[in-house]
Structure 1
Amino acid sequence: MMIYISCAKTMTAHSKQKVPFTTQPFFLNEAKQNVMDISQFSSEELGRLLKINSKLAADNYFRYHNFFSDDNEGLPAILSYTGMVFKRLAVKDFSDDDFRYAQEHLFITSFLYGLLRPLDVIKNYRLEGDVKLPERGNISMFDYWKPVLTDFFIAEIKKQGGVLINLASNEMKELFDWKRVCREVRVITPDFQVYKNGKLSTVVIYAKMCRGEMTRFILKNRIENPEQIKSFEWEGFCYNENESSGDHWVFTMG
C-alpha cells in the first residue's frame, strides 16, 4: 500500500531531527534544470510568477540563486516541509524503523522535484503547479510533470501491492494522467468533513490536519490492509459508512 500527500508552501532549512539515512530524489536532474530556468527571473518577475509579495519574492530569489551553493546542504523532505499536514505527521517521535517504513510507503508531491520520498534531501524553494516557464514551451508545471511521473508513479504503487491512499489535495492529480492511475491501481480517497447546518462540508484546516494524522496512523501502525484505515479516529472524526461510496471514504465529525 502506498500513501501520497501534498508538499507544503512553507519550509525550513534547519532541523535537529536525526534520520537513519538519506537519499537523492528520483528526478534530481529535472529539478536542477527547473532551478536554472527559474533563476533567470528577477525578484519582481518571480513575485508576479508565484503571486507572492515582495518580501517572499526576495526570499525565494535568494533561495534559487543559492540553490547550488556548497553551504546549502538541504534536508530530508519530511523534515523540510512545515505545513499543517507535516505538523500533524509529527515525526519527532519517529523511530529509525518508522522512517524506513515511511521511505517505502510514502510519496510527497513537489512542483520542483516531481515526487519525493521522505528521506530524499531537498532544498528550500517556492513553486506552483500553474507556473509556465518559457524553456518548457510555456506549458505549466502540471503538464511538464505529467508524462514524466505517470508511468513511474503507477509502477511504484504496484510494487507496494497496487493500492494508493490518496491524501493529497485535489490539484495534485494534475501531476499525473489520473485516469490511467485509477485504471491501473486501486485509489482510495479519504475525505474529512464536518456537519454545518445539517449539511456536510469540508473545512480546509481540519482536512489538512486529518490528512497528516491519518498518514501518521498508517505509518506508525504499519497498515497494509486498507480496510483497517476505517478504524482511524481523531478529535471526533471517524469513518461514516452512510456517507461513503466505493473507494471514496468519508470521515465525519459530529
Structure 2
Amino acid sequence: MLVLLSPAKTMTGKCKIEVPAVTEPLFVDEATRIAREMVGYSVDELAAMLGVSRSLALQTWERYNAFLSPETSAVPSLLAYTGIVFRYLSPADFTAADFTYAQDHLRIASACYGLTRALDGIKPYRMEYTVELPSTGCPLDAYWRPRITDRLIADVQAAGGILVNLASREIQQSLDWARLNREVRVVTPEFKVSKGDILKTIVVYAKMMRGAMTRFILKNRLTTPQELEAFSAEGFHFSPRHSTPDNPLFIV
C-alpha cells in the first residue's frame, strides 16, 4: 500500500529531527531546471504568474535564488512541508523505522519536484501546475503527467499494488488516472461532516484527516484497504452505509 499526498504551500528550510538518511529527489534535475527559469522573472512577474500578493512573490523570488545556492540545506520532504496535512501527520515522533517505511510507502506530488519520497531532500519553493515555462512548452501539470504517472505506477506496484489517494484535487490533472486505475487499485477515502441529511466536505477538516490517516497507515504498516475502516480521529469514523470498497467515507 502506498499513500499519495499533495504538498503544502507553507514550508521550512530547517530541520532538527534526525532521520536515517537524506536521499536525492527522483526528479532533481527537472526541479533544478525549473528553479533556474524562475529566478529569471521579476517579483511582479512572479506575482502575476502564481496569482499571489507582491509580498508572497518577493518571498518566492528569494526562495528560488536560495534554491540554487549550494549553501542552502535540503530538508526531507516529509519534514519540509508545514501545512495542516503535515501537522496532523506529525512526523516529529517518527522512529528511524517509521521514516524508512515512509520512504517506500509515501509519495508527495509537487509542481516543482514532480514526485518525492519521504526522505528526499528538497528546498523551499512556490509553484502552481498552471505555470508554463519556456523549457516545458506546456503547463506543468501536462509536463509532469507522463513522467510521474510512470514512476508512481511502478512505486505502487512495488508497495503491493494499492494506491491510497489522499491528495487534494489540485494535483489531479498532473496524473493519468485512467492508466492508474488500469494498472493499480486506487482507493480514495473521503471525509465529510454530517449536517442533518446532508454530508458536506469542509476543506480544513479534510486536510486534517488526510494527515491523520496517513500517519495511521504508516505507523500501523497497513497493507489492505479493509484496515482503513479502523481509522478514527477528531470524531471522524468509518461509515459503511456511505462507503464503497474503493471510496470509503468517514463522517463526523
TM-score, normalising length: structure 1: 0.97
SS in 2 for 1:60: helix
For residue 78 of structure 1, what is the aligned residue in structure 2? 78
Is residue 2:122 matched to residue 1:122?
A: yes
State the Cα RMSD in Å.
1.0
**Residues 193-236 of structure 1: CA deviation (Å, up to 9, x unaligned):** 01124200100000000000000001111111221111101111
For residues 72 and 104 of structure 1, the distance between their equivalents in structure 2, rounded to whole angstroms, comes to: 26
2:186 partner SS: strand
Distance in 2 between residues matched to 1:235 and 1:209, nearest whole Å: 9
How far 1:246 sits from its partner (Å)? 3.5
What is residue 55 of structure 2 aligned with on the other side? 55
Residue in 1 that maps onto 2:30: 30
Q: Secondary structure at the match of 1:242?
A: helix
Return the alpha-carbon distance in structure 2 between the equivalents of residues 16 and 149 of structure 1: 30
2:205 matches 1:206: yes
Structure-1 residue corresponding to 2:159 = 160
CA contact (8 A) 2:162 2:187 kept: yes
CA distance in 2, matches of 1:197, 1:160: 40
Structure 2 match to 1:65: 65
Counterparts of 1:151 and 1:53 in 2: how far apart (Å)? Answer: 35
Cα offsets for 1:87-108 (capped at 9, x unmatched): 0011111100010000010001
Q: How far apart are residue 16 of structure 1 and its match?
A: 1.2
In 2: Cα distance, 1:193 partner to 1:48 partner: 34
Q: Which amino acid aligns with 1:140?
A: P
- The equivalent residue for 2:89 is 89
Unaligned regions of 5+ residues in structure 1, if any?
Answer: none
Name the SS for the 2:199 alignment partner: strand
1:43 counterpart = 2:43: yes
| Counterpart Cα distance in 2 of 1:46 and 1:149 | 25
* Alignment-mate amino acid for residue 147 of structure 2: V
The equivalent of 2:112 in structure 1 is 112
1:70 offset after TM fit, Å?
2.2
In the alignment, the residues of structure 2 paired with residue 198 and residue 134 of structure 1 have an alpha-carbon distance, to the nearest angstrom, of 50
Q: Deviations over 1:142-172 (max 9, x none)?
A: 0000111111111111111110000000222
Note the C-alpha offset of 1:34.
0.8
How do 1:85-234 and structure 2 match up within 5 A? Answer: 85-137=85-137, 139-234=138-233
Count of paired positions:
252
Specify the SS of the correspondent of 1:125.
coil
Give 1:119's aligned amino acid. Answer: L
The aligned residue for residue 247 of structure 1 is 246
The residue matched to 1:112 in structure 2 has which SS? coil
* TM-score, length basis structure 2: 0.98
| Aligned-partner Cα distance in 2 for 1:108–1:134 | 25
Match of 1:203, as an amino acid?
I
